[in-house]
Amino acid sequence: MVARTALVTGASSGIGEATARLLAGDGWRVVLVARRAERLEALARELPGALAVAADLTAEDAPARLRDAVEDAGAELHLLVNNAGAGGRATFAEGGWEQVRRLMEINFDAQVRVTEALLPLLRNSAPSAIVNVASVAGRTARPRVGAYCASKYALCGWTEALHLEEAPHGVHVGLVLPGFIVTEGFTQAPLAARARTRWLLSTPDRVAAAILDAGPGARAERYVPRPYGVVPVLRLLAPALWRRAARALGH
């Protein structure tokens, strides 16, 4: 039996690496994508049949390079995991348009461009799936992360539309919304330092399991941890209460 092929962005560490390892353990052939070539290649050596493609997803030629890598490997693409992203903390007065522009480029524009390039391959190999890794911050907002929230709100809205558009073509589109996950890029140090907030933290392995649930498992949406699903409900039903909580978490 020919192994199914998945392409995972942001695969050199954190959620992307955990997802690649989980997929490989389940018999998938994984195309690993990230900027750090040495780390990618080291991971590829550990995973049977894995292919490393070092790329900056904001580069003009990046989407075409990923499509060419899959086609040159003679593989059908069955799963795309749009996981790469970046964070940043600043008020709008401090970071201004430039921070919004930068995070939109990385967290939203790059995902859209990669999906556009690979969608024909996914349609050709249907049934197939796309999983977009957003954030609970794509359904709520807190102080000092407005630019990050904006990029994830955009990703959530676009994903929901894409889910409806691609279903007739056999491409399932799932959305994963992590809460506070401890990774190399997101240490969550303020929350980890306090016993009363440490319980809010989760791990890349749990997000990886949710990605498989939202991709091959055909779930439309998964929060990680699952109880975080009450957060947007609280935001809608008790906005004043949510704003007090968000203000406390943001400082």
pLDDT digits (tens, 9 = 90+) for 19-34: 999 999 999 999 999 9
pLDDT of residue 3: 81
Give the pLDDT confidence score for residue 201 in this predicted structure. Answer: 77
User: Are the C-beta atoms of residues 73 and 6 closer than 8 Å to each other?
Assistant: no
Strand 201-202 relative to strand 29-34, pairing: unpaired
Domains and CATH numbers, the chain: 5-249 (3.40.50.720)
pLDDT digits (tens, 9 = 90+) for 147-159: 999 999 999 999 9
pLDDT-derived band at 242 (thresholds 50, 70, 90) equals confident
- Helix, strand, or coil here: 5? strand
153 a catalytic residue? no
Average pLDDT over all residues of the chain: 93
From the list 148, 153, 223, 228, the catalytic residue is 148
pTM to 2 decimals? 0.94
- The stretch 117-132 carries a mean pLDDT of 98
Label residue 2 by pLDDT band (50, 70, 90).
Answer: low
- What is residue 188's predicted lDDT score, i.e. its pLDDT? 63
53: left (phi over 0), alpha (psi -120 to 50) or beta: beta
Cβ contact 51:44 at 8 Å: yes
